[in-house]
């Protein structure tokens, strides 16, 4: 699809996603979104699939190692040569993930960055390696959220950590989205935002399901045991963790 | 040389209509595409989307008015250059404002889907562009009165 009028019609047909963390469900279903995106050319649909594959948790989960994710991301970035902003966006997303992966590795007791080029991507590898024990990897001046993420991670507040990471990703999407209104980049950025909103809404759904389960168990076993569930059972379930979530 | 100036005169006479029509067509297509897309995502208010998308159609009407004001009993060497200058420049104004109006209307329709309360104010840039078209129309009419016939 190259006609700008078609992009205008497509972009205006997509509902506003709203402010992150405020919606309990996505304003457009996956089925309906795919239906609307059907007007894209096969080449653009391929670009979109590839971008989602390397940026969304569900797409990354099928890879068995960080190295294969990074290798795939490099291929996708090379394929997006016609769209420099999307290249920067995917690269920025990989860098954000690298920083989160570094925080997790350090929390798990890793004393040095090790072979960071095998599990990390982007401009900050040298900073991370040289400042491994610094809370913000020596990047606090550029990226103040890292130290905050470190604090959340150490305190075990995974929900706050996830919110912070998603906010950072959303900020990157907003930054590049401001330059595109009715073009392929605008559509791609919308889809990436939709993936994040949809992911957060699933957390809420999982949360609700867990709470319902606890309530059902309480009701079913109340007469037998007369005991309450441990506090941990009623806590908000943690979001899926991984080096590339 | 005289024939060339006469040819330019005829060119300038029809330019406001032709260029205005292109601007209106382009602008309405941009605004109309946005309106069609917005209707897919809305449960009502279709009329207002279509209504504002037709705003750039005024440019061709202004072009027609300018053409009639420039029309002389004869197009000759004495008035050819004036017809050319006024007609072509006002025509380009209609072309440019029509296209740009379509673009800002598409943005307005898109933005008002997210925040319906801004629908009215989001049309202000399109109204300002309309004002520029009207400036070009009025002063083309003023100048048309001083063309030697």
pLDDT in tens, A76-119: 999 999 999 999 999 999 999 999 999 989 988 888 888 888 88
Q: What backbone torsions phi and psi does residue B3 show, to the nearest 5 degrees? A: -65, -35
Contacts with A66 (C-beta within 8 Å, 6 or more apart), sequence order = A101, A118, A119, A120, A243, A244
* A68: in domain: yes
Contacts with A62 (C-beta within 8 Å, 6 or more apart), sequence order = none
CB contact under 8 A, B37 and A11: yes
Nearest to A15 among B35, B41, B106 (CB): B41
State residue A200's pLDDT score: 82
Give the residue among A165, A166, A187 at the shortest CA–CA distance from A176. A187
* Shortest CA distance from A6: residue in chain B: B33
Does residue A232 register a pLDDT over 60?
Answer: no
Q: What is the 3-state secondary structure (H, E, C) of chain B?
A: CHHHHHHHHHHHHHHHHHHHHHHHHHHHHHHHHHHHHHHHCCCCCHHHHHHHHCHHHHHHHHHHHHHHHHCCCCCCCCCHHHHHHHHHHHHHHHHHHHHHHHHHHHHHHHHHHHCHHHCCHHHHHHHHHHHHHHHHHHHHHHHHCCCCC
* A121: in domain: yes
CATH number where B36 lies? 1.20.120.610
Nearest to B110 among A5, A12, A36 (CB): A12
Nearest to A8 among B30, B113, B114 (CB): B30
CB contact under 8 A, A13 and B41: yes
Residue A218 neighbours by CB distance under 10 Å: 15
Compute the C-alpha angle A195/A197/A198, nearest 5°: 60
* A65: in domain: yes
State whether residue B38 sits within 8 Å of chain A by CB.
yes
What mean pLDDT comes out for the span B74-103? 94
CB contact under 8 A, B37 and A181: no
With bands split at pLDDT 50, 70 and 90, how would you rate the model's confidence at A34? very high
- A184: three-class secondary structure by DSSP: helix
CB contact under 8 A, B37 and A182: no
Lowest mean pLDDT among A155-164, A223-232, A233-242, B40-49: A233-242
Share of chain A above pLDDT 90, in %: 38
The length of chain B is 149
State whether residue B37 sits within 8 Å of chain A by CB.
yes
pLDDT in tens, B56-74: 999 999 999 999 999 988 8
Compute the C-alpha angle A36/B110/B56, nearest 5°: 115
**Half-sphere exposure of residue A106: CA atoms within 13 angstroms, side-chain side:** 25
* A113: in domain: yes
* A242: in domain: no
Q: What is the DSSP letter of A120?
A: -
* B149: in domain: no
Q: What backbone torsions phi and psi does residue A236 show, to the nearest 5 degrees? A: -60, 125
- How many domains are contained in chain A? 1
pLDDT in tens, B21-34: 999 999 999 999 99
* A239: in domain: no
Residue in A2, A8, A10, A16 to test binding to B, most B beta-carbons within 10 Å: A8
H helices present in chain A, as ranges: 4-12, 30-36, 42-55, 57-60, 66-79, 84-107, 116-119, 125-130, 145-155, 158-177, 184-225, 231-234
Q: A242 or B57: whose pLDDT is higher?
A: B57
CB contact under 8 A, B34 and A6: no
What is the residue range of A152's domain?
4-234
State residue A2's pLDDT score: 55
State whether residue A186 sits within 8 Å of chain B by CB.
no
**Half-sphere exposure of residue B13: CA atoms within 13 angstroms, side-chain side:** 17
* Shortest CA distance from A4: residue in chain B: B30
- How many domains are contained in chain B? 1
CB contact under 8 A, B114 and A16: yes
Lowest mean pLDDT among A15-19, A224-228, B67-71, B89-93: A224-228
What is the residue range of B92's domain?
2-144
CA distance B66 to B72: 12
What mean pLDDT comes out for the span A162-186? 90
User: How close, in Å, is residue B130 to chain A by CA atoms?
Assistant: 22
Q: Give B-chain residues touching A5 at CB under 8 angstroms.
A: 29-30, 33
| CA-to-CA separations, A32 to A22, A28, A38, A181, B57, in angstroms, rounded | 21, 6, 10, 21, 34
CB contact under 8 A, B37 and A15: no
């Amino acid at each position: 699809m190259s006609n700008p009028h078609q992009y205008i019609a497509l972009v205006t047909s997509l509902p506003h996603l709203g402010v992150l963390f405020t919606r309990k469900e996505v304003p457009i279903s996956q089925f309906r979104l795919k239906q609307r995106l059907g007007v894209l050319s096969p080449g653009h649909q391929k670009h979109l699939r590839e971008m989602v594959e390397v940026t969304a948790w569900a797409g990354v989960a099928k890879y068995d190692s960080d190295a294969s994710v990074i290798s795939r991301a490099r291929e996708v970035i090379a394929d997006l040569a016609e769209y420099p902003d999307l290249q920067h966006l995917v690269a920025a997303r990989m860098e954000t993930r690298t920083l989160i992966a570094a925080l997790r590795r350090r929390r798990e007791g890793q004393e040095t960055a090790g072979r960071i080029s095998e599990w990390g991507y982007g401009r900050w590898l040298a900073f991370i390696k040289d400042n491994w024990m610094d809370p913000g990897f020596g990047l606090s001046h550029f990226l103040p959220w890292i130290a905050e993420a470190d604090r959340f991670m150490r305190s075990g507040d995974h929900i706050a950590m996830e919110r912070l990471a998603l906010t950072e990703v959303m900020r990157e999407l907003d930054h590049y989205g401001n330059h595109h209104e009715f073009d392929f980049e605008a559509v791609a950025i919308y889809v990436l935002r939709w993936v994040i909103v949809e992911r957060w809404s699933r957390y809420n759904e999982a949360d609700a399901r867990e709470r319902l389960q606890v309530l059902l168990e309480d009701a079913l076993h109340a007469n037998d045991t007369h005991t309450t569930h441990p506090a941990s059972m009623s806590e908000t379930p943690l979001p899926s963790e991984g080096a590339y979530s | 040389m005289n024939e060339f100036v006469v040819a330019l005169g005829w060119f300038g006479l029809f330019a406001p209509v032709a260029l205005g029509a292109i601007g209106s067509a382009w602008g309405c297509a941009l605004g109309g595409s946005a309106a069609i897309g917005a209707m897919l995502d809305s449960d009502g208010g279709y009329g207002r989307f279509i209504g504002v998308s037709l705003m750039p159609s005024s440019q061709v009407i202004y072009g027609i008015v300018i053409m009639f004001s420039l029309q002389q009993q004869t197009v000759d060497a004495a008035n050819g250059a004036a017809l050319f200058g006024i007609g072509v420049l006002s025509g380009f104004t209609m072309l440019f404002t029509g296209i740009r109006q379509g673009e800002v209307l598409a943005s307005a329709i898109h933005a008002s889907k997210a925040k319906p309360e801004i629908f009215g104010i989001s049309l202000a840039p399109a109204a300002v562009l309309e004002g520029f078209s009207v400036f070009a129309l009025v002063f083309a009419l003023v100048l048309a009165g001083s063309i030697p016939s």
